[in-house]
Amino acid sequence: MTRTSTKEHDVPTELNELSFTDRLAALTLPLPKELVKTMPGSGGATLSYIEWHTTCAILNFWFDGQWSSVLDGPTYQQTFPISLSSFRQTTTGGLSPGNTQEGTTFQTEIVCQTTLTISDLNGNYVSHDGVGQDTLFLDTKYGWIYNDKGVTSAESHSFKRAATKFGIGTELYDKDQKPTCLYRYLAEYPINIGSLRIRSMCLDLLLKEKLTPDEARAIVTTVEDRQDMATVNKTSEHLASLVDS
């Protein structure tokens, strides 16, 4: 069992003003389109996904120092036999001798389970589990080969599936939703604290349905494009008036 956690450091004050519940809700926001990757799927389909480090970046943004993951596994389960003669010819003395060796080995399923926990400073926490699988061998047009990324892939999938249960990237499974740029949180904090203040206020108003997603996006974009405190202060006053309305 392996335990990993984020590096702890000070989270900007404005972000801490959001409640634990509101920040959990923020994880369900549609992902910025620049964070979404694609790859070919079966039957000519295109699959959308996010990388492991992107999931970490999102968790770090909203819950830096307040989340951890525990890995259980990998475990291995043999599934069906494979003839050694069907492996791709190699120049090594390993398991892939091509047609020069008789006998069989077994395709093996690799399974990992990750428990992802998010907590606050008051002892409240939420945990979700995710299971990821891959295989020990891959069937290619040149013959069977050893999957040297099998364990890493299974671990990554289990982590991302646990994160999905918190709402991260769930829109990727809904073909009617398209990733948007509602909040451009990437791997680092915004370039200035004023921008973060506006984002936090917009998120609060969005959750209270006092702003639409388009209105929130426009406000954040204007502040970040101008990058001056006069705009930040004027926008803050406007948003504060919406809170009181």
pTM of full prediction above 0.75: no
H helix count then E strand count, the chain: 7, 8
The b-or-e profile of 160-198 (16+ CB within 10 A means b, else e) is: bbbbbebebbbbbeeeeeebeebbebeeebbeeebbbbb
pLDDT of residue 129: 93
pLDDT of residue 227: 63
Mean pLDDT of all residues belonging to the chain: 75
- Both tokens of 5, joined, read 């956690």
- Residue 3 forms beta bridges with which residues? 70
Confidence of residue 174 (pLDDT cuts 50, 70, 90): low
- pLDDT tens readout for residues 181-223: 333 333 333 434 456 667 767 777 776 778 777 787 788 777 7
Length of the chain: 245
Strand extents, DSSP E, 26-66:
37-40, 46-49
CATH superfamily assigned to domain 2-189: DNA repair protein Rad52/59/22 (3.30.390.80)
Residues of the chain with CATH 3.30.390.80: 2-189
